[in-house]
Structure 1
Amino acid sequence: MRICVPSMGTAGLDEYISQHFGRSPTFTIVDTETGAIEIIGNNSTHMGGNGLPVDALHGKGVQVVIAGGLGPKAISAFQQLGIRVFVGAAGTVKDAIDDWMNGLLTEASMDNACREHRH
């Protein structure tokens, strides 16, 4: 399974989670079957580039996104692509994945979307 966590840099599993999904400097993608780690920069329109993070992550085969939180537009876009999103993550990428594997995170919905992004 390919899991993505919005991250602050390039330290892999030891990197801290970015609490603002769309403005995350990087996305750390972890393949739970092979242990491979891929880090991609956020070059989306939200960061002044082209495209959307949702499209980039879908293109990388991501099946699950783990985040602190994200807005309703991102949640809806991921749902349309069949990518599951879980919120409530904190700490490092490793912490987030461990919490998800232990059932400690909540599946994202319109009810728990970030309030700042309701536009």
Structure 2
Amino acid sequence: MKKFAIPLENGRLCSHFGHCQQFAIIETMDGKITVQNLVTPPPHEPGLLPQWLSEHGVTHVIAGGIGQKAINLFNGQNIQVTVGAQPKQPAELVEDWLTNSLVSGANACDH
């Protein structure tokens, strides 16, 4: 099982990870989406989200832009981070990841 967290703004991938309105938490099994939930993160505080998402069982993060310090903190929680994803619906991003067709690129965050 893989469990993805995708930061959202107005229902689509948020370009700034730490300031999203919600997270889509999407569970997969055998290459298929099995569960989708929306959760509201706690107020933004540097370094908080990696631990919080780890407590939710997240194994993967798909982001547009995310700071290097946050990436390092996620790696410390054994959470794989993919950056530079395009602003799509969360289920579409996970489907793309599962089929190795997720387009990722430069990290949109420079701090």
Instruction: Normalising by structure 1, report the TM-score.
Output: 0.75
How much has 1:85 moved relative to structure 2?
0.6
Structure-2 separation of matches of 1:106 and 1:67: 11
Structure-2 separation of matches of 1:31 and 1:19: 22
Query: Which residue matches 2:39?
Result: 40
Instruction: Tell me which of the two structures has the higher relative contact order, counting C-alpha pairs closer than 8 angstroms and 6 or more residues apart.
Output: 2
Letter in 2 for 1:99: D
Query: Which residue matches 1:97?
Result: 94
Query: Which residue matches 2:4?
Result: 3
* Count of aligned residue pairs for this structure pair: 106
Structure-2 separation of matches of 1:113 and 1:44: 23
Identity of aligned residues (%): 29
Structure-2 separation of matches of 1:88 and 1:37: 22
Query: Which residue matches 2:68?
Result: 72
* Structure ranking higher in strand proportion: 2
- 1:23-34 equivalence runs, <5 A: 23-33=19-29
Match of residue 18, structure 1, among 14, 18, 40: 14
Structure 2 runs not aligned, ≥5 long: none
Instruction: Normalising by structure 2, report the TM-score.
Output: 0.80
Instruction: Give the secondary structure class of the aligned counterpart of 1:36.
Output: strand
Structure-1 separation of matches of 2:109 and 2:21: 21
Contact in 1 for aligned 2:84/2:108 (Cα 8 Å): no
* Structure ranking higher in helix proportion: 1
